[in-house]
Structure 1
Amino acid sequence: MKQMLTIALLAILVSGCSKEVTFSAPDVVTSIRKIVTDSMGSSAANRYDYSKITKVKVSEDSVYYLLRSHSEPDAFLALWMDGKNLVRKGVRVTLDREGGCKHPWEAMDGVITVHSIRGNLLLQSRVRKGYIMSLHEQRSTDRMGIASKSNVAPIEPDPYVTLSEVVVIGYRSEGSSYSYSNWISIQALFGGGSGGTTYAPIDGGGGSHGNRGLYETDAIRIDDETAVNLPPIDVNQYLDCFDGLPDAGAQCSIELLTDIPVDSDPRKLVDWQAGSAGHTFLQLRKQVGGQLIVQNIGFYPVSSWKVSFTNAPVPGKFVDNSNHEYNASLRMQVGADQFRRALNELRYLARSVTYDLDEFNCTDLAVRVFNAARNNKLDIPLYQIPGGITAAGTSTPQGLYQQLKAMYNAGGTEVANISFPGVKGYVANSNGPCK
């Protein structure tokens, strides 16, 4: 599952659509058609589909309207309005794909061309794996290490440092499989630079029908999983800290935490190649009297290409997830013997485990360690992810979230130990290594 292409614009964007035009809500579609016609002329304006205009509200002062082309499947028009429906900017975009039409979860290569709404060329760039390469450039250097004045070379972005300008997002309705939709970075589209984290749908995104051809949908804010860039930890040094407290009289707990990529909607499975598939991690606690040891530990690939699918596993690493955000958790109070079983399982896995995106990822490891201390094993639903090669499905942070939600709704003895901290919460610091 690889991200599709969309556009990114430099800060020089549109000035051609800056005249003050206002309209009331019932007349949105008619007024947008008039704005486009006045700006582009009737012939060009008629190329766009006014029967399904997508409205994306980001804030009280930022509303976006997207129109697809009738004749070109990879062309669209975007208007940016303020809270009073004054037109701020507008752009028209054409994407030329290499190799013809591809599945929406395949990486896209090609060329993007962006004009102002009045026809001025703003950007034409090569596209590689969903990234607008002209937005990811570095100056080449001479042998003395001094930056060249003219030679500018595109570089391959690290997908775990910079999100692509276009992502593929999967939607899962209750009891059904995933469907997919293409979303574009609003920040990149309207001059906020590359790798934006707020996205709007190119193809409607499943928005609800509004008034006379107006469809409304919410923007998506995707979390970066930047902890993958942290240095690896020595798991044994972290777990050795618990040996400093006696087992007698100890209060121990293991908490399983999930961080979904789209905080507002756990049904949305973001393209893992965009580096934003969420994260699952563990919090281990042991307390004796006033002495408390807390360690937050997560599992990642050593390199950033967690986002790339391969038939072979890649080297894994463990990271201190201090202050990491989460959207749901299950805490389990355990005895000292159960606690030690979980620690031993984690030590065992840390000796040789490798990271495999669709067969043994952060969720697989965290659930396995958690289950090492349980009598009734926790099972979570497996999802088919784009590009996955495992027929049975893959463990995901969304799957864990959905399982915890189902357990909470069903009631039972563990309800009091399940937490949904509003939109999101954050764990405390870890104690760190003990040598």
Structure 2
Amino acid sequence: MKKFVLLPLIALVLVTYFACTKNEAPFTPESFKDPFVSEAANFVKGQVSTSEFESLDLQGYSLMKKNEKEVIGVRFNVKGKDGKQFAVVGKTASGLTGNWVDVSELDANASKNGTLATRSFSGDKRSNVSFTEGRVTKVNSTVNGKSKTTVLRYGPNGERLKTSTGARISGPDSEEGIWLPEVTVYGYYNNYSVSYFSLFYYFNQSPSYTYTYQTTDPYIYGYGGGGGGGSSTAVVELAPVEILSGPSVDLNKRINCFGNVPTNASTTYSMTVYTDIPEDGNPSTVLYGTNPGHAFVTLTKTNGSTTVSQTFGFYPANGLKSITFDNVTSKIVNDASHEYNAKITIPSMTEAQFNNATSTALTKSGNSYDLNDYNCTDYAVDIFNSVSVPGFSPLSIPDHVAPAGVNYKTTPGGLYKALNQLKTAGGSMAPYITVGVDANGGASGGECN
């Protein structure tokens, strides 16, 4: 009786095992009913590593369409990324092409701000596309190790302005000057002004993909948006930005000079942050001629008649920042007696607070310089915000958005406006803020070993 019961039980277990094994069999591209999706999945499999291919949710694919019938691409989500990272494959006249796409830093459902990142399957092409209120404002691209940045400006009606191509400009560190790369981006005319939804950016700015999405979910599928007259070249117009500075200094040796001031109960510490706006009297100006303005810091330690001050600022190492707006090596420069138009002073700090400021100044001096993402104003504000002094709140600098709609992020003009607002508000910081002047900043005490 036991054997009679056991045999059917074994048979049942075997049937169940093989049934489960069949259900858990690896999903293959050939399983697709749609021939294009099968072709696309096989294409991805041949282009990427095994681990990358296995990271894709192939069964959850989404088609991208030019119109109701014509499929021009397909998206395969990366597992566990909530649709924020995916692979796209598209049709071109010469065959299939594909990219990895990352929209995790892009606010798609609200104001459409942030960054879209793409990478070709081969890794030889990469792009980071910055959006502000749905408009493309900056494109950093790298092809075969060669980088190019395009910054887009817009007119009062939202139209893209025209381009300036390559040009040679001279600067203080180069007698021969610097040859600026061509700055051109392919675009399109249509009835829809929002360029955020363009497949153009999903495929590393390929002119084969100028179609725009017209759905509420731009990551799922697209619908043709070429109703304004087809493709054209949309271009930008930018002036070179000249940042004049002196030679670099050794900030660590300048900080060492504070050790020459005795430290005891009589020692006092202070800090001042200055901003020199490009055009005196007009903090809304981002660039005056080729001058973007400057922000800098003075740190002071005093005991009786012994005082050491160091005044310094953060600059691009070559003294000239071109229209490429790329990250470049930075340097610290002696800014003693530099012109300023507004300032804020913390007149008294503890030794610990002062050390926080000097430590931040040293650490942040190692950052790369980027005119948009980390410039002299970011550096000065970081030092100020590294201390917590009663009555002084951290400085919050609003993004500086030009009338044409381009967001330049933190600028000397933005710092000026923030200080002016704090002064007008009349809070605890107001007595320590000066605005609307044309004066010169603090001194510097040299370098010490």
TM normalised by structure 1 equals 0.47
Larger radius of gyration: 2
TM normalised by structure 2 equals 0.45
